[in-house]
Amino acid sequence: MNTAQQLKTALLNINHKSYPAYKSVAGNYRFEEYVLGIDHVQGDPFASPSKVHLALEGKVAGFPGHLFDTTPKRIALQDYLTRRLGRELHKVSGKAGGSGKSGLIFLSQCGQEILERSCCEINPENGDLIIRLEIGFPANGRSINSPELIKILFDFLPVCVSRSLLCRRLPMEELLAVEALCEDQQFIRQELKRLSLSAFVANGAVLPRMSGISQLPLKHAVAFECPHSMEVTLTLPHRGSITGMGIPNGITLIVGGGFHGKSTLLNALEMGVYNHIAGDGREYVITDESAFKLRAEDSRYISNTDISLFIRNLPGKKDTVSFSTQDASGSTSQAANVVEGMESGARLFLIDEDTSATNFMIRDQLMQSVIADKEEPITPFISRVQALYEESGISSVIVAGSSGAYFHVADTVIQMKDYIPYDITEKAKTVARDFPALHTEGLTYELPTFQRCPLASGNLRDNDRTKMKVLGKDSIQINRTTVDLRYLEQLSDTEQLSGLAYLLTYGAKHYLRKGRTLTEIVDLLERQMEQKGLASLTDAPYLASNLARPRRQEIFACFNRCRDLVF
């Protein structure tokens, strides 16, 4: 292995040379506390910055094993270190200068959710630590300014590392607090299963966010307060006793006037599949981690999905046992979303009336009398929601502001009033008795078939030179194919979309086979991420510096929306 001194000499030798001479310093170098890897050097100072990694041995980093002895705790520690290192790097980014991106230092930025990311990986066996980051190698015009890079690599980085990645230099009480919060959150997740709950929302939680463009907690928000009848008290291993609302498995309806906080509660449940950082306000809002938001998604792609549970006898005898379209309607898209959610193993569906197709959700008595059942291809969700729970064990939480139809089928009815929930189940049931329920006789519940096997076509098949691009949280592009992901509202970070782009490309290249189902493919991809980490999704693992792990549900959803996969 080269020494740091050799790197310094090499860098001084190429000072003032033309930019590509930087390529000669690619390689690994031994620094005092870590090995610095220069993995890819940018082509010019305006191009994407160079890829660099730091490798620290476990005994140097020195984190005690109990801080990362479970996967969630390891992810929480990685998240903490990323945030801490990010703050240190931020102080020195741009301090060394030049043209274009010279001197800028980039590390993944974490939001409110605690996600597994490729920028910081701890080896669970020995505590070895890998950090992946990007540095704009400095130049003046196109001529190398290596003393500035020396400043970054020899002055700035060692200080940042020692202030954020060496256990002995970190405040132990903060590390222990991260561990404790994670253990408490995981404890609640376990308790949900034991107590047959779909979600838990602690008293005092702050659900609303600052604005449509900020996920920070809203200041001066009305704190969450559980209705008496739904109170659940848990004894967390660290925090001790905590009381909040337990949403039981089954069918839960959230009703209430406009602007009283219904969607805010549902959104908090959507994001409760992830653990949140301390101070977020939703630290103790925990939802079954398989929960899947369902919504209408006009114009999405559907390939050979069995939506006959909801839609049959379409005009023109279009097949719905194996339904395909390049341009779905509101109701067919939502039907496909349900079926694909089932295929992904979701145990809880989250639905907001505002973003649903009305004809998919309900069908009122009057309409049923005028248009005979046999002339209506749609069996609305309301006619299936009970069987979904009783036959398939899938619960639903539904926000309904304008239709009372679901009162008949709900097990629990919550009214949001001035942001506070009230249990109005009794009242709603009593009143509903005087209104006719939708009759659904003669309906049989047949599980859709999940034997769908995707094969790649077009752009995805020829992937020797794959170009990937992520457009915010809206979509990913693989070569010339765009996969629209904007309606997957539980994606919390653009890096998860990068992760999906890699999963799709890697999956298409290595795991697609004739006769292999989507479920088997996703199982293989998840197992690989578990065993070898996110960065293993590429042949050049040190280059994958900015991936976050998406959930199983979003991996399914991404594959299902890719127009270059035919099932």
Q: Which residues bind Mg ion (CB under 5 A)?
A: 263, 354
If the CB atoms of residues 218 and 543 are measured against ligand ADP, the closer one turns out to be 218
- Phi, psi torsion values for 358, nearest 5 degrees: -55, -45
Closer residue to ligand ADP (CB): 259 or 435? 259
In the complex, minimum distance from the CB of residue 406 to ligand ADP, in angstroms, rounded to a whole number:
16
Binder of residue 386, out of Mg ion, ligand ADP, none (CB less than 5 to 8 A by kind): none
Residue 246 is encoded by which pair of tokens?
Answer: 């337990």
Toward ligand ADP, which CB reaches closer, 423 or 564?
A: 423
Give 128 or 354: the residue with its C-beta nearer to Mg ion: 354
| Contact call for residue 207 and ligand ADP (CB under 6 A) | yes
- For the beta carbon of residue 258, count every other beta carbon within 10 angstroms: 9
Instruction: Determine phi and psi for 534, rounding to 5 degrees.
Output: -65, -40
Q: How far apart are the first and last CA of the chain?
A: 49
- Give which of ligand ADP, Mg ion, none residue 438 binds (C-beta under 5 to 8 Å, depending on kind): none
**Which CB sits closer to Mg ion, 264 or 479?**
264
Minimum CB separation of residue 351 from ligand ADP in Å reads 13
DSSP 486-520: TT-TT---HHHHHHHHHHHHHHHHHT--TT--HHH
Inter-axis angle of helices 552-561 and 518-532, nearest 10 = 130
Q: Applying CB under 6 A, does 208 fall inside the site for ligand ADP? A: yes
Q: Are 108 and 117 in contact (CB under 8 A)?
A: yes
Q: Which residue lies nearer to Mg ion by CB, 39 or 354?
A: 354
Task: Identify what 222 binds: ligand ADP, Mg ion, none; CB under 5 to 8 Å per kind.
Answer: ligand ADP
Least separation in angstroms between CB 427 and ligand ADP: 19
Residue with tokens 């703050």: 87
Site for ligand ADP in 148-167 (CB under 6 A): none
**From CA 555, how far away is CA 565, in angstroms rounded?**
13
By CB under 6 A, name the one of 221, 455, 468, 566 that touches ligand ADP. 221
Task: Give the integer Cα–Cα distance in Å for 358 and 369.
Answer: 18
Backbone φ/ψ region at 55: left (φ over 0), alpha (ψ -120 to 50), beta: beta
Instruction: Choose the one of ligand ADP, Mg ion, none that binds residue 260, judging by a C-beta under 5 to 8 angstroms depending on kind.
Output: ligand ADP
Minimum gap (Å) between residue 209 Cβ and ligand ADP: 7
Query: Which of positions 245-274 make contact with ligand ADP (CB under 6 A)?
Result: 256, 258-264
- Report d(CA 132, CA 118) in Å as an integer: 7
Nearer to Mg ion, 253 or 512 (CB): 253
- Kindly list the distances between the CA atom of residue 413 and the CA atoms of 227, 256, 383, 429, 522, in Å, as whole numbers in the listed order: 11, 10, 18, 9, 36
Work out how close the CB of 420 gets to ligand ADP at its nearest, in angstroms, rounded to a whole number.
8
Question: Smallest distance from the beta carbon of 281 to ligand ADP, in angstroms?
Answer: 10
Q: Strand, coil or helix: what is 308?
A: coil
| Count of residues near ligand ADP by CB under 6 A | 15
Binding part of the chain for ligand ADP, among 4-12, 25-33, 165-173, 218-226 by CB under 6 A, reads 218-226
**Alpha carbon distance 362, 140 (integer Å):** 65
DSSP string, 335-403: HHHHHHHHHTT-SEEEEEGGGS-HHHH---HHHHHHS-GGG--B--GGGTHHHHHHHH--EEEEE-SS-
Judged by CB under 6 A, which of 12, 26, 172, 222 binds ligand ADP?
Answer: 222
| Interface positions, 377-416, toward ligand ADP (CB under 6 A) | 416
Minimal distance, residue 414 CB to ligand ADP, in Å: 12
Query: CB of residue 358 vs Mg ion: minimum separation in angstroms?
Result: 15
Q: How far is the CB of 416 from Mg ion (least distance, A)?
A: 9
Radius of gyration for the chain, computed over Cα atoms and rounded to the nearest angstrom: 26
Q: Does 293 bind ligand ADP (CB under 6 A)?
A: no
Residue 91, H or E segment: helix 71-92
Among ligand ADP, Mg ion, none, the one that 74 touches (CB under a kind-dependent 5 to 8 A) is: none
Residue 53 binds what, of Mg ion, ligand ADP, none (CB under 5 to 8 Å, by partner type)?
Answer: none
Nearer to ligand ADP, 194 or 220 (CB): 220
Binding site for ligand ADP (CB under 6 A): 207-208, 218, 221-222, 256, 258-264, 416, 419
